[in-house]
Amino acid sequence: MSVLIFAELDEGKLKGSSKEAIYYGSKVAESLGTAATAIVIGQADDAELATAGRFGAAKVLHAADSKLTEANGMAYASVVAAAAEQEGSTVVVVAKSSLGDAMAARLAGKLRAGLAANVVDLPNLSNGFRVKRSIYTGKAFAETELTADKKILAIKKNTITPEEKEATASVEAFSPALNDSDFVLKVTNTEKATGDVLLPEADLVVSAGRGLKGPENWGIVEDLAKALGAATACSKPVSDLDWRPHHEHVGQTGIKISPNLYIAAGISGAIQHLAGVNSSKVIVVINKDPEAPFFKSADYGIVGDVFDILPRLTKAVNAL
């Protein structure tokens, strides 16, 4: 028996959120007195997959069938279910993402498993199997007990900080039977956001709102993001005005992010925006209005003009 972790790939590399999931799964395995096994679907070389050992995986099962090139939640659920059956896994860990969510829900049906989403801490095994979950877009927490024999944990980003060690995982080819019924859903096209750092995976994010006054001024946001190695984001009004592409919109109706650092420039901090960013470890707010609601949620606040503050921050970062 082992704890099984579904690890996603991005262009043949393990995603940052998957490394966190592997580390989380390894800690669950330790508490259960067993080992951690990762299941990876898609094209990747063995050297890359073996790095899962740095985060606690003893073994990686690699399903590289050409039919699985496109991320298909139905087919992936069947593959992970087959891996869980082979490994005798009663606990499956996935990183919460668009693919993880679609796959985990179907997997729960296949395994007749209990599913807990937005998990933010390691399970409490002192009295049953209880997990802490983020609810109401991060405004509260719930303790949930899973009583099913099999359990699926979809963990929220930044749930646990991975610690690397000098180790490699063994890599085994995994070729489960694939049924035509798994492919009634077909991925016909995939459009990825472009940029040096993709927003959903970013640890650092620089975001701006209508306080920038127009798209022609976005250079000062991009300059700071480049200096920090950060992704750029924006508020909903900005994307609605087509100042920035819609895939940069963070908030309740946009992308929900959990970076280590979120810098918000010229954003008032409406509750809809907060719902997408309140899982950030550190929030820095820059606004010339000292009464801006966002300051109430900030770890650090700067009262000042973004056209003055952002270039000065960029200069300071570059000087480092």
As annotated, the binding site includes: 210, 266-273, 287
Q: DSSP secondary-structure letter at 255? A: B
Q: DSSP secondary-structure letter at 21? A: H
Contacts of 256 (CB under 8 A, 6+ apart): 137, 250, 275, 276, 277, 279
Q: Are 113 and 148 in contact (CB under 8 A)?
A: yes
171 SS3 class: strand
| The residue type at 256 | K
Which phi and psi (to 5°) does residue 198 adopt?
Answer: -80, 135
Q: Are 59 and 37 in contact (CB under 8 A)?
A: yes
**Using CA atoms, how far apart are residues 131 and 119, in angstroms rounded to an integer?**
7
Residues at the annotated binding site for FAD?
210, 266-273, 287
**Using CA atoms, how far apart are residues 9 and 227, in angstroms rounded to an integer?**
27
| The residue type at 272 | Q
